[in-house]
Amino acid sequence: MPSAAFPSQITKHYELRQTIGSGGFAKVKLAVHLLTGEKVAIKVMNKKELGSDLPRVQREIDAMKNLSQQHVCQLYHVIRQMNAYSWSWRCVAVYAPGGELFDYIVAKDKLKEEEARVFFRQIVSAVAYIHDRGYAHRDLKPENLLLDDDQNIKLIDFGLVAKPRGGMAYHLETCCGSPAYAAPELISGFPYHGNEVDLWSMGVLLYALLCGFLPFDDDNTCKLYKLIQKGEYEVPDWLSPGSAKLLSQLLQVNPKRRVTIKQLLNNEWMMKGYAAPVRWTSRIKKDKPDPDVLLELASYYDHPLDTMMKKVLEWKYDEVTAMYFLLCMKKSKGQLPELLPRY
Ligand SMILES: O=C(Nc1ccc2c(c1)CCNCC2)c1ccc(Br)cc1
């Protein structure tokens, strides 16, 4: 156990604040990065809650290290504490002051089509990006979609992500995710394709955004599964014909008839009021670090610029990676010249 004399890696770089989320096997705490003053979220996972599900933690961390996009929650720093008897992981990531999209929908009852479209375009952007990188999320639901301080979507919780060997063509055998958002083929136990499962969950998500309740809902899980496998749901009269049509394209029981993520990018409903298809490629260029931030880091660590560039490009998700991303955040808020203390 770290003592006051030997501060843990966490307290060396972060000031822990209140718990902002907990559930399942993880707890999320708000924290402040001491050097930049930026707020971060720290997801604490330990063996006690996870049981032997260490692979799930490893999957989530590996996925988050490979995913960097404007609508995917950015991982900053991974701190693991292992001893002979146990282990714990702390993932430092973007803090989302807007909280969960779930709470936003509950507070507003349901969203107008125009507002739902803004969010859904960002969700499609995030999913198109992770699918292109060969990942299926498999647990898409409003609780795993957070809102940042500009009310932009940040996708989290890659604990159930699947990166089948050879991209998305392989069937995934495991059943997972949250029942109300689970695709028929997933709950039937048949082999399924992760990307098709994600599209079904996005249909349930869009329905929840537009209606304020779920298309398939029953307290009894078996009855819920039967409803999902039948694929019949209520179409409230406030839904526009365009919304109803898109929902029918997403909530197709036969995954081969379901709309694909690429078709969604310029789908008629998605394009209403917009001049361009959904932009899904990443605006974050990890292979070309920001020169202003590099300069600030090189000055702080007292390294030549090319040495600092090499250290950043190792992407170790240590304090250097955290400093890089947090200084990028400060630059985006016009605060970069605020010099870091020099030792
Ligand atoms: O910011 C996060 N979560 C969050 C959840 C709920 C709320 C917030 C953040 C904002 C604080 N008020 C309560 C509402 C968050 C960020 C990254 C990760 Br990984 C996991 C959670």
As given in the structure block, the two tokens for residue 316 are: 């170790």
User: From ligand 1's centre to the CA of 259, what distance in Å?
Assistant: 31
Task: Give residue 163's pLDDT.
Answer: 77
Highest mean pLDDT among 8-12, 183-187, 248-252, 334-338 belongs to 248-252
241-250 and 113-132 helices cross at what angle (nearest 10)? 30
As given in the structure block, the two tokens for residue 176 are: 């997972």
As given in the structure block, the two tokens for residue 123 are: 């969700």
How confident is residue 127, by pLDDT bands cut at 50, 70 and 90?
very high
- The number of the ligand 1 atom at minimal distance from the alpha carbon of 157 is 19
**Nearest alpha-carbon partner for 21 in 119, 97, 110:** 97
Give all strands of the β-sheet with 14-23 in edge-to-edge order.
Answer: 14-23, 26-33, 39-46, 87-94, 75-82
Tell me what ipTM this predicted complex has.
0.93
Q: Contact, 120 vs 261, CB < 8 A? A: no
Task: Give residue 266's pLDDT.
Answer: 95
Ligand 1 shell residues, CB under 6 Å? 20-21, 28, 41, 43, 73, 91, 93-97, 99-100, 146, 156
User: What's the whole-number average pLDDT of the chain?
Assistant: 91
How confident is residue 169, by pLDDT bands cut at 50, 70 and 90?
very low
Q: What is the pLDDT of residues 204-237, one digit of tens each?
A: 999 999 999 999 999 999 999 999 999 999 999 9
Residues contacting residue 277 through CB under 8 Å, at least 6 positions apart: 265, 266, 270, 271
Mean pLDDT to the nearest integer, 76-102: 90
**Do you know the residue count of the chain?**
343
User: From ligand 1's centre to the CA of 144, what distance in Å?
Assistant: 10
- The number of the ligand 1 atom at minimal distance from the alpha carbon of 91 is 19
User: From ligand 1's centre to the CA of 148, what distance in Å?
Assistant: 9
Say how far apart CA 284 and CA 276 lie, in whole Å. 20
SS3 92: strand
Q: What is the DSSP letter of 188?
A: T
- Pocket test of ligand 1: the residue of 17, 77, 95, 104 to mutate, having most ligand atoms within 8 Å of its CB, is 95
- Pocket test of ligand 1: the residue of 20, 32, 43, 155 to mutate, having most ligand atoms within 8 Å of its CB, is 20
How confident is residue 82, by pLDDT bands cut at 50, 70 and 90?
confident
Q: Residue with the nearest Cα to atom 4 of ligand 1?
A: 99
User: From ligand 1's centre to the CA of 125, what distance in Å?
Assistant: 21
How confident is residue 167, by pLDDT bands cut at 50, 70 and 90?
very low
Residues contacting residue 39 through CB under 8 Å, at least 6 positions apart: 30, 31, 32, 33, 95, 97
Q: What is the pLDDT of residues 281-309, one digit of tens each?
A: 999 999 999 999 999 999 999 999 999 99
Q: Contact, 159 vs 28, CB < 8 A? A: no
Compute the 3-state secondary structure of the chain and give helix, strand, coil in percent, each to the nearest 5. Answer: 40, 15, 40
Return the percentage of the chain with pLDDT > 90, whole number. Answer: 78
- Res 177 pLDDT > 90: no
Task: Give residue 226's pLDDT.
Answer: 97
The region of weakest confidence among 85-94, 174-183, 263-272 is: 174-183
Query: Taking the CB of residue 306, how many other CB atoms lie within 10 A of it?
Result: 10
**Nearest alpha-carbon partner for 194 in 133, 267, 112:** 133
Q: What is the value of pTM for the model shown?
A: 0.93
Q: Residue with the nearest Cα to atom 7 of ligand 1?
A: 99
How confident is residue 22, by pLDDT bands cut at 50, 70 and 90?
confident
How confident is residue 178, by pLDDT bands cut at 50, 70 and 90?
confident
As given in the structure block, the two tokens for residue 94 are: 């973007």
Q: What is the DSSP letter of 53?
A: -
Mean pLDDT to the nearest integer, 189-217: 96
Q: Residue with the nearest Cα to atom 12 of ligand 1?
A: 99
Q: What is the DSSP letter of 21?
A: E
User: From ligand 1's centre to the CA of 95, what distance in Å?
Assistant: 6
Say how far apart CA 116 and CA 85 lie, in whole Å. 47
User: From ligand 1's centre to the CA of 17, what distance in Å?
Assistant: 12
39-46 vs 75-82, strand pairing mode? unpaired
Could you tell me how far CA 318 lies from the centroid of its own chain?
A: 20
- The number of the ligand 1 atom at minimal distance from the alpha carbon of 93 is 17
As given in the structure block, the two tokens for residue 338 are: 């605020």
- Of 103, 132, 139, 198, the active-site residue reads 139
String of DSSP letters for 194-215: HHHHHHHHHHHHHHHHHHSS-S
User: From ligand 1's centre to the CA of 164, what distance in Å?
Assistant: 29
- The number of the ligand 1 atom at minimal distance from the alpha carbon of 95 is 1
As given in the structure block, the two tokens for residue 336 are: 């970069």
Q: Residue with the nearest Cα to atom 8 of ligand 1?
A: 99
Among this protein's residues, is 292 annotated catalytic? no
- Res 165 pLDDT > 90: no
Write out the H or E segment, with its range, that includes residue 242: helix 241-250
- Res 3 pLDDT > 80: no
User: Assign residue 233 a region: left if phi > 0, alpha if psi is -120 to 50, beta otherwise?
Assistant: beta
- Pocket test of ligand 1: the residue of 64, 65, 146 to mutate, having most ligand atoms within 8 Å of its CB, is 146
Q: Contact, 300 vs 340, CB < 8 A? A: yes
- Res 333 pLDDT > 80: yes
